[in-house]
Amino acid sequence: MQRRLLGSAVAIVATVLVACGGGGGAQGGQRPIVIGVSVSLSGDFSGDGKALEQGYQLWADDVNAAGGLLGRKVEFKFVDDDSSTQQVVTNYQNLITADHVDLTFGPFSSLLTIPASTVAARYGYAFPEPAGGGPQVFSRGLKNLFFVQPAPVEDNLVSYVRWLLSLPAGERPTTAAYATQDDPFTQPQLDKARQLLEAAGVRTVYSKVYPAETSDYTPLALAVAQSHADVVLLGTQLPDAVAFVQTFIQQHYNPRSLIETTGPDQGAQFSDKIGLANTEGIMVPSGWWSSARTYQNARFVKEFIAKYGGTPGSISADAAEAYSVGQVVAEAVNRIHSLDNAKLIQALHSGTFNTVQGKMSFDSAGRPQGQGTFLVQWQHGQTVPVYPAAIAIAKPEYPKPAWS
């Protein structure tokens, strides 16, 4: 009896699945271009996922307002991957083989990009992505992947190191403290920065890697504060970025310079937790900032605020990165007058593209060859680029003012 139940259950489910799987054919005529994307709307990456979705959608709206791409409207099919590997794989499978989307754009973080890009490669889809730039992303031998940011992730702190070492001898820091999450995004950056600084003679007085799942950062922050280092480099996401600063404030520890890999670039979500006055002088590496005079950036900022509210300072870099993906693809598609993925992949590997993050091109593994990241610093309640001098709007503040 149990087996009969089992049999009928299997039959029913199988029928339903076949019915669901078979559909999705194309209609002729001016049907819209559908772009499939898996975004993290729940789970660990949900804050960034939302920003990606906003950036992507804004790009689609702009393109459509200008007459569409190749004369057709652009539509997104967004699905939630719950920040999970399993789901992201299923999502792109479905988008490509069941929904037959024309193009695919990438999800959030190297963690999800790696499995997702393998799925896209299997079907020959181009995979331009805004947020997967850890070293492993490029070591998989994939030819269809393009990381749309000004530099591979591990080089993010190189500008900071150059700036520190360019300070006059009397002001240059002699000691440094490093703490980073055990994360494929943050750790490579810190490792590289530490190597470069140690080679230049800056003594490491504290260096720790902590689990990404840590819930209480206070003991770590205490240890950093007690090291009395001249400068502090932190590999963080938003919650720990906030927690470290809060503890530094409580402990009255004033490093001469503080840089965090993510957190200070999250606008209001960062500043309203530590107080706007306390943001003064904190630095973050960035590939984009709201006042940059890059391609279509002023328009992007204005429209983003009109559509989603907030201030220029509250726009997350994730949204700009997503927007850049759209820009790159639009430029490539317009050059080759085609949506064919194979041709698109070829086109993306050659030439340069203009984005709100600046000009960039891609090497054979998909690594961006852009102008590299810059240093952005909070000054008087705004984030401004301060280094290198060629693109700086203000001079870097050094040493960082004491907490208020």
Partner 1 sequence: MRLSGLALLLGVAVAFPIGLPGPATVNVGVFTLMYVGLATAWNIVGGYTGYISLGHAGFFGFGAYALGLIVTRAHVPAGVDVFLLVPLAGVATALFAIPVGWIALRTREATFVIVTIAVMFMLQILATNLRGLTGGSQGLAFPVPGWGAAFDVPFYYAMLALAATSLTVSWSIRRSRFGLGLLAIRDDEDRARSLGVRTEVSKLAAFVVSVALVGMIGGVYGYYVTYIYPQFVIDPLIGIAMVLMAFLGGMGTLAGPVVGALILEPAQLYFPYGLGQSRLYLVVYAAVFLIVILLLPRGVVPTLGDWLEQWRSHRLAEAQDRPRGDEAVVG
Partner 2 sequence: MGPSLIIGAAALGVLTGGVYALMSSGLALIFGVMRIINVGHGAMVVLGAYLSFVLLRDWGVDPFLGLVVTMPIMFGLGVVLELVFVRPLRADREALSVLVTYALALGIEGVLGYLFSADYRQLRVSYDTASFAIGDFRITWVYVYGFLLAVAMLLALFGLLYRTRFGAAVRATMLNRTGAQLVGIDVERVSAIAFGIGMATAAAGGTLFGITTAFNPDSHYDLISRLLTIIVLGGLGSLRGAIVASLGMLVVEDVASVLISPTWADFTFFVILVVALVVRPQGLYGVRVRGAA
Binding site for partner 1 (CB under 8 A): 1-7, 9-11, 13-14, 16-18, 20-22, 41-42, 78-82, 84-87, 89-91, 93-94, 96-98, 111, 114-115, 118, 122-123, 134-136, 139-140, 182-184, 187, 211-213
Contact 33/75 with Cβ under 8 angstroms? yes
How many angstroms separate the Cα of 39 from the Cα of each of 42, 100, 116?
9, 18, 11
Q: Give which of partner 2, partner 1, none residue 251 binds (C-beta under 5 to 8 Å, depending on kind).
A: partner 2
CA distances in angstroms from 76 to 79, 101, 111, 290, 302, listed in the order given: 10, 9, 22, 25, 22
Q: How far, in Å, CA of 325 to CA of 101, rounded?
A: 17
Binding mask 244-263 for partner 2 (x = CB under 8 A): --x--xxxx-----------
Using the rule CB under 8 A, is 65 a contact of partner 2?
Answer: no
Q: Which amino acid, 68?
A: G
Cis ω before 388 (30° cut-off from 0): yes
Which partner, partner 2, partner 1, none, binds residue 226 by CB below 5 to 8 Å per kind? partner 2
- DSSP H/E element including 16: helix 2-22
Nearer to partner 2 by Cβ, of 145 and 243: the residue is 243
* Residues whose CB is less than 8 angstroms from the CB of residue 9 and which lie 6 or more positions away in sequence, other chains included: none
Residue 287 tokens, joined: 């590939």
Q: Is 356 helix (H, G, I), strand (E, B) or coil?
A: coil
DSSP state of 157: T
Beta bridge partners of 177: 206, 232
Query: CB–CB of 164/177 below 8 Å?
Result: no
Cβ distance to partner 1 smaller for residue 11 or 200: 11
219 binds, among partner 1, partner 2, none (CB under 5 to 8 A by kind): partner 2
What residue 244 binds from partner 1, partner 2, none (CB within 5 to 8 A, per partner kind)? none
Q: Which is nearer to partner 2, 195 or 226 (CB)?
A: 226
Please report how close the Cβ of residue 7 comes to partner 1 at its closest, in angstroms: 5
Q: Of the two residues 252 and 293, which places its CB atom closer to partner 2 in the complex?
A: 252
Q: How far apart are CA 248 and CA 255, in angstroms?
A: 9
222 binds, among partner 2, partner 1, none (CB under 5 to 8 A by kind): partner 2
Piece in contact with partner 2 (CB under 8 A), picked from 30-38, 119-127, 219-227, 348-356: 219-227
Residue 51 phi, psi dihedral angles, 5° rounding: -60, -40
Residue 337: exposed, middle, or buried by beta-carbon count in 10 A (0-12, 13-18, 19+)?
A: exposed
H-assigned helices in 227-340: 238-250, 268-274, 297-308, 317-336
Q: Which is nearer to partner 2, 49 or 368 (CB)?
A: 49
Q: What residue 281 binds from partner 2, partner 1, none (CB within 5 to 8 A, per partner kind)?
A: none
Q: Output the DSSP codes for 174-191.
A: SEEEEEEES-TTHHHHHH
In the complex, the smallest distance separating the C-beta of residue 82 from partner 1, rounded to whole angstroms, is 5
Contact 386, 400 (CB under 8 A): no
Q: How far is the CB of 318 from partner 1 (least distance, A)?
A: 18
Stretch 28-57: interaction string toward partner 2, x if CB under 8 A = -------------xxxx-xx-xx-------
Nearer to partner 2, 216 or 293 (CB): 216
Q: Which x/- pattern over 127-166 shows residues binding partner 2 (rule: CB under 8 A)? A: ----------------------------------------
Contacts with partner 2 by CB under 8 A lie at 41-44, 46-47, 49-50, 182, 208-211, 213-216, 218-220, 222-223, 226-227, 238-239, 242-243, 246, 249-252, 269, 272-273, 275, 403
